[in-house]
Amino acid sequence: MPTSPSDPAPSIAPEGSRPSGLLELDESVVDDIVALLADGQRGMVLNLVADLYPADVALLLRHLPATEAKQLFRWLPPEVASDTLMELEDAYRADLLKELSTTALTDLLDALDTDDTVDVLADLPDELALQLLPDLKDTEDLIELLEYGEETAGGLMAREYVSVPPDWTLQEATEEVRRNADAVDEVYTAYVVDADGLLVGVVSLKQLLLSSATVPVRDIMETDFISVSVDVDQEEVGQLVQRYDLLSVPVVDEAGRMLGRITIDDVVDVIRDEAAEDIQLMSGLTGEEETVDTVMQVSRGRLPWLVVGLVGSGLSGLVIGTFEGTLQQAVVLATFIPIVTAMGGNAAVQSAAIAVQGLGSGELWLRDAFRRLGKEMLVALLNGTVIAGLLCGTVAALGMGDVGTLVMTLGLTMVSVSLVATTNGALIPFVLTWVGIDPASAMGPFVTTLNDIIGLAIYFLIATTLYL
């Protein structure tokens, strides 16, 4: 039943007691909530929001006007607001928090794991973050985590984990898990740490539950485990989790001392963010654009690549202008310019896509470049020959120009452009990886335009030699 404005605000239902029929977000629900917010109907709004998971609350906030979103966020209980924070984009999250009091911010941050707290602090203005740090419950851990790079294992890890000595019994280890139930949200593994803090083994939750309570931890612990150092790139952490189907990864220092752990939920976020960044780079963006960015921020991210595209198109036009005499002598050659550029662009994108995917997943290494190139060139030769046959057959059937010479020109051009473009698409991702640039850039406007220029140059050189 809806509550009246005078009723006390209901609390958000815990996840275990969520109703089976969750509220489905749509425009009408958003409009209703806007109206209720305007009337100050706090109880009714929270009754509606109680049917939503934190990810849904975040989606709702993004669809509300800025003022109403901030009002709703202030009304949320701290535990729900803190969970919702981690579902929001960085820029939007920072904007939502900047008007809250330091007391409210402290309550929100204390409800988060240390890795999530560090993410939020990194989004806040430096002065505000420094002001909040001394009042947070995990100040020392947070200061240490803030020293690591944001996109490294150290910046990704949480300091909350369950550790047990190797000489404990499984009963003692199980009790330790229970004692840490509130501090550690997801317990997949108990980490076995010796007196010097060195990580010497891991014990899964299944082993703890199914083995005899009197067995020493050292007798069942796995000593062949996967760990990462603090300076490992987050993308490499994601690859490890995918390759070995891990639920959590321990993070150690150079000496092997246990520092923290990275859980699967954080890795999923990394994989998603890396994929989104690659898609943006392929589309000619900076890889950092978010849906909540301002017009100026979006423009700054897109304009440089548009300028690159403009310069590239100008160079393509310069190539065509250089062969103006050729076009004047055989106007029919102009008909096939779009075909040449499209053929080169498509061939390059196809080969680059496979290379980028392989490099990103770790299936391809730098030393695989020439092996990959050999295979791609054979494919390009086959596909180029088929495309050339189709195009030349069409030209011959239509009787365009000097058919014999034109067919020879177009056939040789299609095969040559296919080979060159495919070579570029296959090799450039490896070159970019070698110099430390995201290989997804190989599918952006720069490389696409480069193939247009090279393809046109090849076409006109062949046409000048054979057709005229």
Helix intervals (H) in 221-263: 234-244
Q: Is the pLDDT of residue 291 over 60?
A: yes
**Average pLDDT, stretch 218-238?**
93
- How far is it, in rounded angstroms, from Cα 12 to Cα 64? 19
Give this prediction's pTM.
0.68
Q: Give the pLDDT band (50/70/90) at residue 17.
A: very low
Q: Give the model's pLDDT for residue 271.
A: 84
Q: Give the model's pLDDT for residue 13.
A: 39
**Average pLDDT, stretch 93-117?**
87
**Average pLDDT, stretch 109-132?**
88
Q: Give the pLDDT band (50/70/90) at residue 11.
A: very low
Element at 371 (helix H, strand E): helix 369-398
Q: Give the pLDDT band (50/70/90) at residue 450.
A: confident
- String of b and e for 31-52 (b: at least 16 CB within 10 Å)? eebbebbeeebbbbbbbbbbbb
Q: Give the pLDDT band (50/70/90) at residue 16.
A: very low
- How far is it, in rounded angstroms, from Cα 369 to Cα 352? 12
Nearest CA to 352 among 441, 240, 454? Answer: 441
In SS3 terms, 299-343 reads as HHHHHHHHHHHHHHHHHHHHHHHHCHHHHHHCHHHHHHHHHHHHH
**pLDDT tens string 254-289:** 999 999 999 998 898 888 887 777 777 777 676 567
- Cβ atoms of 52 and 18 within 8 Å: the answer is no
Report the 10 Å Cβ neighbour count for 85: 25
Q: Is the pLDDT of residue 3 over 70?
A: no
**pLDDT tens string 171-187:** 999 999 999 988 888 88
- Cβ atoms of 141 and 114 within 8 Å: the answer is yes
Nearest CA to 349 among 409, 283, 277, 250? Answer: 283
Q: Give the model's pLDDT for residue 22.
A: 52
Q: Give the pLDDT band (50/70/90) at residue 4.
A: very low
Report the 10 Å Cβ neighbour count for 442: 30
Rounded to the nearest integer, the mean pLDDT of the chain is: 86
**pLDDT tens string 127-169:** 888 889 998 988 988 988 988 988 899 999 999 999 999 999 9
**pLDDT tens string 323-376:** 888 888 788 899 999 999 988 888 988 898 888 888 877 788 898 999 999 999
Q: Give the model's pLDDT for residue 23.
A: 59
**pLDDT tens string 371-425:** 999 999 999 999 999 999 999 999 999 888 788 899 999 999 999 999 999 999 8
Q: Give the model's pLDDT for residue 442.
A: 65
- Cβ atoms of 407 and 395 within 8 Å: the answer is yes
User: Helices 337-361 and 369-398, interaxial angle, to 10°?
Assistant: 160
Q: Give the model's pLDDT for residue 292.
A: 65
Q: Give the pLDDT band (50/70/90) at residue 18.
A: very low
Q: Is the pLDDT of residue 56 over 60?
A: yes
- How far is it, in rounded angstroms, from Cα 261 to Cα 114? 11
Q: Give the pLDDT band (50/70/90) at residue 193.
A: very high
% of the chain exceeding 90 in pLDDT: 40
End-to-end CA distance of the chain: 85
Nearest CA to 4 among 49, 50, 36? Answer: 36
Q: Is the pLDDT of residue 9 over 60?
A: no
Q: Which SS3 state, helix, strand or coil, does residue 259 take?
A: strand
Q: Give the model's pLDDT for residue 310.
A: 81
Q: Is the pLDDT of residue 215 over 90?
A: yes
